[in-house]
Amino acid sequence: MADPIQKERSFKRGMIVLIGVLVIVFAGTLAYLYDKNKPREADVYLIPQGYNGPVVVQYWIEGTPELTKDGDHFVFTIPPDGKLDTVTKQPNSGVAQDLYYYVDANGNRTELVYGKDIHGIFLGRDEDDLSGPLTGSFYVGTEQQWQEWNRTKHEEHMKKKKEEPRRYY
């Protein structure tokens, strides 16, 4: 038969360990939520005047230029094809209302509005290549154009998936 004093000590040790684990989990959750929701400086996207379609930014691409900064703002100068590669790691995390502009040949800016001119903001990795680069993207155009483009991309993705050999585990 187990010693009652030994049982009590084991119970107390178990409770201390449990409380310690709960404190660590709680502190980690708070730190994550703070980092995720903290304010950050807005990024500035300079898009060639008249560009319409997806904008794709790939981060951590060796041999490509760093993003420039204007004060605390990262500046993304988007090429005419809408694809920008940068060696810069993912910019600041947090919440901000990024700024989007069309830029003409003289450097004049026309503001674009999220929900009207800018749609479908995404940051992540390609589900087919999770080891690939971190990618940010959005669509420049009307909501109808974005929905049509999105539908077409989804159909292409589904066709590709159907053509892949089935895997059984």
- pLDDT tens, per residue, the chain with 169 residues: 567 778 788 888 888 888 888 888 887 777 666 655 667 889 999 999 999 999 999 999 999 999 999 988 999 999 999 999 999 987 667 788 999 999 999 999 999 999 999 999 888 887 767 677 889 999 999 999 999 999 998 888 788 878 877 766 5
The CA distance from 144 to 105, in Å, is: 28
- Beta strands per DSSP E along 1-131: 44-48, 53-58, 68-70, 73-77, 83-85, 99-103, 109-112, 118-124
- Closest Cα to residue 56, out of 4, 108, 132? 132
Supply 118's token pair.
């800018």
Is the model's pTM score more than 0.75?
A: no
| Pair 58, 133: CB distance under 8 Å | yes
